[in-house]
Amino acid sequence: MNIDILVNGQPVGRLSHDPQLNRFSFAYAHEWLIREDRFALCPQIPLSPSSTETPETHSAAVRQFFENLLPEGQALDDAAAAHQVSRSNLSAMLMAVGRETAGAISIRIDPSTPGNQDQLRPLPLEEISERIRHRPHQPFSVWDGKVRLSIAGFQDKIATYRNNGDWFLVEGPNYASTYILKPEPVSDLMRGLTTNEFFCMRLATAIKLPAATVELMHVPEPVLVIERFDRKLADHGVDRLHIIDGCQALGLSVGYKYERPYGNNPDVKHIRDGASLPRLFELIDRASPTPAAQRLQLLRWAIFQVLIGNTDAHAKNLSFFSTAAGLVLSPAYDLVSGIAFPSESIDKTYAMAIGDAFSADEISPYEWANFAAGCRLSLSLVSKELERMASLVLKVVDDVAQKALQEGAEPGHLSIVAAAIKAECQRQLNFAPQIRGVSLTLL
């Protein structure tokens, strides 16, 4: 099986699979390699093969990269069912959902198929509302018999295009989605998630942490509207920008997006083979054209997760623009205060540790210093940024909450989230000056 991989309609290379050996390979197209703006799909699939690469290591790298393009959980099951293929058949799943992925990549099997023609299908608000209400019986990711989004994550979402206030489902070589719509979860245990994420995203923007632009829409059900930062409007339609998530950047499978990939049970919680903050900082040192600036942005991203209590800040909730010059962090997304939910609703274990702390209760000045040492950051920088960001959040949080209320956020949950964040910020603010006093001989 051969699948052409495109970026904005331009051939990048060909993905191949040998079913007898169950081995994948990817070869860059000659016309891509001679372009001045060429870039590698990810660090593990370089433009020029490494001399130490074997067919087995190459196959593993290719599989891991493309598997990370697929949705997760129920959305993956729904996509497989809609196209009557096995969810474990990577080639089949890519052909099913690969026309609209995160970043610039799209899949082409046959240029003559109707799916390769531009199509804009109107999406009235009434239809969105109806589909939200029918989610227990009809997958939200499947519309008109097609999976309309291949983006990792467990939340219901759909990729859409907006023009003059109207919404469309789109496909074709010149058009792509420009927004993601995320309704309130079906489960009552996660009620308020839309308000929670909206508020946390706006809070990030208010303290000047780069984050995706969001708004709340009511159809009348609440829907979080997220502007895609991997899309750019152009005269001919929409350009796609190449981004890769943390797992793709580190060369990890989706199962290793958490630092503790085998869970938190006592017999396995010491195994920390998954994505981690030290590994991400080391990646930036290797692969970024501006490592100092990117290290600072990653530090601020990590601190903000602690301040809002985002326990699910894993490697697939962090992305990089991948360019000819190297990797540059994308705006933040999927910012949610996990500590604001009851314990039965959400796991309170951090996806990636701060030092050796995997929960808010375990964080201390020592663990912040341990984190700094592991990521090769100065204690004074971590102390200064923690103090600055906690103070800034406390300064703006009430104003951001008031504006969120005016835009339709749910008052009850908003007050719970704001109170939880303020309490955590005050606690971390007390820790900040003590970080400088931690003896390096203890680390």
User: What gap in Å lies between CA 392 and CA 318, rounded to an integer?
Assistant: 23
C-alpha span between 63 and 24 (Å, rounded): 6
Active-site pick, 78, 230, 312, 334: 312
* Strand-pair category, 222-227 with 214-218: antiparallel
Active site residue 285: no
What DSSP line would sit under 287-355, residue for residue?
H-SSHHHHHHHHHHHHHHHHHHT-TT--GGG-EEEE-SS-EEEPPB-----GGGS-TTTS--S-SS-BT
Residues 6+ apart with CB under 8 A from 76: 70, 87, 93
Q: Are 398 and 210 in contact (CB under 8 A)?
A: no
Contact 110, 95 (CB under 8 A): no
CA distance 83 to 124: 25
**Residue 296, phi then psi, degrees to nearest 5:** -65, -40
For residue 399, count other CB atoms closer than 10 A to its CB: 10
Tell me which H or E stretch contains 105. Answer: strand 105-108
Active-site positions?
312
